[in-house]
Amino acid sequence: MAAAPSTTTDLLDLIRRSGLLTPEALDTVLKQRSSPPSSPSSLASYLVKTGSLTSFQAKMLLSGKHRGFRLGAYILRDQIGQGGMGAVYLAEHETLRRRVAIKVLSTGGTAAVDRLLREARSAAALDHPNIVHLYDIASQGPTHYLVMEYVDGQTLDKLVADDGPLPCSKAVEYAAQTAAGLQHAFEKGFVHRDIKPANLMLARDGTVKILDMGLARSPASGEAGAEGPDHGTPVGTADYISPEQAMSAPDQDIRADIYSLGATFFTLVVGRPPFDGNTTQKLLQHQIKTPPSLSALDPSFPKGLAAVVARMLAKRPDDRYATPAEVVTALAPWMQNSTRVVIALSHTDLAQKPEFQDTLAEVVGAGAKRSPDAPAEVVREQHRPRRRLAAVGLAAFALIASVGVIAALGGFTASPPASVAAASNLPAADPKTAADKDAAAQPTKPRDESVFAPATLLSERIAGKSTQQDAAVSLTAGPSRAATAPPVKLAADGNVLFTLDLGPIPEFDVVIENGKPTPPDLKLPFGMGAWVWKKGAVGAFRCMTIEGAKAIGVTNLNDAGSAQYSVELETALRLKIEPEKQYRVTVGYLTANEAKGFVEVMNKEYKKVGRAEVVAKQGWQVAEVLFTRPADSHVRLVVENTAVGEGNTLFVKSVDISPPSSASPMLRAARHGQPGGALVF
């Protein structure tokens, strides 16, 4: 066993041998300290505080370990999981700075390596937003490992353990997302065989990701090892295993996963699995005992939803839903127009089938007629590969129907109240700029007109009109249209011109595609905008509470990117930003997974006036932009996410605009929720 360092010299020697810091970087950070650390623990604490080491790395070094921090091009930063087969680590690519999850086998036995290889092959064949992506499988000496997508969040079993049973709406949302991922696996010929709350990760942006394909099998693959070393032995987890898995039946299909998802749903809303007892007793109960009815356990629980779960938990596979897509359909009456489920289903073959329109009409019609409180029929169906879509609303399904026909720019905006000054703490408009009063109603000039196409103004669509603009969607509309009051207030120090207050804004979840938002009847408060400016881009925008703060999230759903959140500082909010005078914009932001981007102040020609990069870091951060207002142009603030992917969301919780001398860095950092000072660019 390695000896723990007894002096700071010993610890420095371990750090150098570990390769975690270059000699130059180590020397630089040590010179920043006014006095040398007095002990190994104080030195480790200092290096963690400066971000040179992580707490995990410091703990390992203090125990005397200096090996094992690197696997290929990846540096291990934290241990985030532990299982029977090994451990899971948070790691970072040394060059790309991409965060990943690495599963490392604790044993090099043939059976364990075979299972790891089977998991890698299964995951590599799947590409869906609700299934964790595999990047690589490799070995380093005797160590075998998988490199996977890192999901910043918590598993559903931990969520229930920490917060107790979930509301029906949350359980339905998470189950439907899982079913959409299973539909993709089903279409590729895979059965997961271990669906349970511990294998479902809830990302911070609300996306559910299916983990651990180690037990997945593809009966249609024809591989001799399709059964693997588990042949003849029940595989799965006793609390959630299907009856046919418990009996080691040879012909297990996707309906086994539907049963396990039903048991998972039961756990999410009750707080415990359907059956108690030891492993043998649970396996037997899954085969012969009917689970308690959810509506019997709680009379207020919707009887129709209880019937859906009961059908998922039917003992005979033929009595369950035939496919995961049918599960989504059955859950539809209790959904709230989930854009995540819509996007998830758009990544299945189901959305591309010729019979899609007929199926869509059938499902939407059934969902529109069924009351969420009415019992859902539980009838026996023959197992057939018929695929349906969930009835999550006509507007949402129109989004899927338009996959592959995405046109151009889209956005949703608010319209100003009759009197901006009367509805907020904003100063009245400067009389000499009154001639610009109608400028807000005009389309703004795009930075590159070649990538724009005509789009319909949201406020006109809501009124039943169809007005085509010449270029971009206007971020502000004419004062004759109704809107909410601007979320603007003056800060306590009296020097801040603008403070964004998201508190009064209701939570929303909207996707902009083909120049149209889904759902279509959402407006942001006056002066705020959300849009995608590249042709073919699809963006998701949501307002939600995350890590204790109300925030607006911006996500790019395809490779075109360009999803932006903007604030029209002068043409809409009428802030008195004086020409040739310097100002500071301070933005509080949070990056989920690999989100990154920039905060930029632009002039009316979409040219940069000031800019700060937004980088992926843990927790709330602060970005600052110093800018001088041009003499001949108004300015706007833009926050753009340049990362792509459902889970890579950039959240903005606060925006302040002030003269640069109005507040100290520590005060600004405290206002935006970041301890230890501000990041000044």
Bind-site residues for ATP: 103
Q: Are strands 410-413 and 508-513 parallel, antiparallel or unpaired?
A: unpaired
Q: Scan for tokens 């640069």, then name that residue.
A: 660
Q: List, in sequence order, every residue forming a beta bridge with 210; answer none if it has no partner.
A: 131, 200
Please give the C-alpha separations between residue 500 and each of 128, 495, 590, 673, in angstroms, as whole numbers: 35, 14, 16, 14
Measure the CA angle with vertex 230, ends 228 and 236; round to 5°. Answer: 120
Q: Phi-psi bin for 100: left (phi > 0), alpha (psi -120 to 50), beta?
A: beta
**CA distance to 269, 293, 372, 639, per residue, from 304 (Å):** 15, 11, 7, 43
- My answer on whether omega of the bond before 375 falls inside 30° of 0, hence cis, is no
Q: Which amino acid is it at 144?
A: H
> How far is 138 from 20, CA to CA, in rounded Å?
21
| 8 A C-beta contact, residue 130 and residue 208 | yes
| Strand blocks (E) in 9-73 | 70-71
- Residue 167 gets which letter from DSSP? P
E-strand ranges in 558-649 read 563-568, 582-591, 597-603, 608-614, 621-628, 635-641
* Rounded CA separation 111/121 (Å): 15
To the nearest 10°, report the CA torsion of 21, 22, 27, 30: -10
Query: For 165, which DSSP code?
Result: S
**Torsion angle (degrees, nearest 10) of CA 190, 392, 474, 672:** -70
What residue numbers does the annotated binding site cover?
Answer: 103
Residue with token string 């807000």: 440
Which residue matches tokens 């009750």? 270
Alpha carbon distance 228, 251 (integer Å): 15
Rounded-to-integer distance, Cα 515 and Cα 407, Å? 7
